[in-house]
Chains A and B, each alone.
Chain A
Amino acid sequence: AQRVTQPEKLLSVFKGAPVELKCNYSYSGSPELFWYVQYSRQRLQLLLRHISRESIKGFTADLNKGETSFHLKKPFAQEEDSAMYYCALRGAKDGNEKLTFGTGTRLTIIP
């Protein structure tokens, strides 16, 4: 079974401060991990995926297989980062294309 845990429902950070959104997963094979973001009144959209190893809007996330984590980080928060963030996993072991999502973290950037 695959499972994604986002321990923080709410996170408030001051503008300019570092941000870290936590994500832990459970999966017996090699997972593919994603972060999705939903801004106010917008649809859910892909922020980044671990295989791309890219930085999007200043965010990065590193897959740590030892700790089974995929935390999302940004060194300096901006007001436009306020949104709902979802961590998601796709198990590649059995060719299963469905995504398993965490319950999400609502990030609020305090001006």
Chain B
Amino acid sequence: GAGVSQSPSNKVTEKGKDVELRCDPISGHTALYWYRQSLGQGLEFLIYFQGNSAPDKSGLPSDRFSAERTGGSVSTLTIQRTQQEDSAVYLCASSLEALQPQHFGDGTRLSIL
């Protein structure tokens, strides 16, 4: 596709449920990033994948959060046992290589009831 694609665009779930968010980066982009934007906050870095290197997980807020990137392309962010404070817009970005400009998707708006 022409840009970074994220699905679903909106997700409403009950507290305690697990959720999976998907990101399709731009074809050929080796770097992939996940960010979170809570209400009234700036974008907060979560995790970064670059090629076959070990991901930088330094931004994940708790062990309930995990992400994987299969085949160097599609990435899935998983949140287990969701809490209300997990409600946010989750943004994915990709770049051709590390240190190149990041291109963002439309995000997934996650609401925890």
Contact = CB atoms under 8 A, between A and B. Distances in A.
B106 A43 contact: yes
Contact of B99 (A4, A43, A97): A97
A86 interface: yes
Interface stretch (A44-52, A65-73, A75-83): A44-52
B102 A46 contact: yes
A110 interface: no
Interface residues of B, number: 26
Given A97-B31, A97-B48, A98-B33, A104 B42 contact: yes
Contacts of A36: 104
Given A43-B3, A46-B102, A99 B56 contact: no
Interface of A: 4, 6, 34, 36, 43-46, 49, 86, 88, 90, 92, 95-104
Q: Which 8 A-B pairs have the closest CB atoms?
A: A101-B42, A101-B43, A44-B104, A103-B42, A98-B45, A97-B98, A43-B106, A46-B101
